[in-house]
Amino acid sequence: MTTVRYFAAAAEAAGTETEERNEATLAELRTAVLNEHPKLFLVLPDCAVLVDGVRTDGDISLANARLIDVLPPFAGG
């Protein structure tokens, strides 16, 4: 199992801050969370995705992944 943590607008869109997932690849995970949380369609394309602390934009295996962070762009000063 992999823990997915959603932050800020991503958490609001998903309706949760964390969930346990078991998809085999990042592409499968993206498809599954978009199907289960349709509001993520509005924010996920702009989010940074970190797998065990490393930003990843492509499809990778999640076989050994423990933590995935979904981080929308943050405004700040």
* Element at 28 (helix H, strand E): helix 26-36
More confident residue, 17 or 75: 17
Chain CA centroid to CA 60, Å: 13
Rounded Cα–Cα distance for residues 5 and 77 (Å): 24
Rounded Cα–Cα distance for residues 60 and 74 (Å): 25
pTM: 0.92
Q: Which pLDDT does position 5 carry in this prediction? A: 98
The structural domains of the chain, ordered by start, are 2-71 (3.10.20.30)
Tens-place pLDDT, residues 24-61: 999 999 999 999 999 999 999 999 999 999 999 889 99
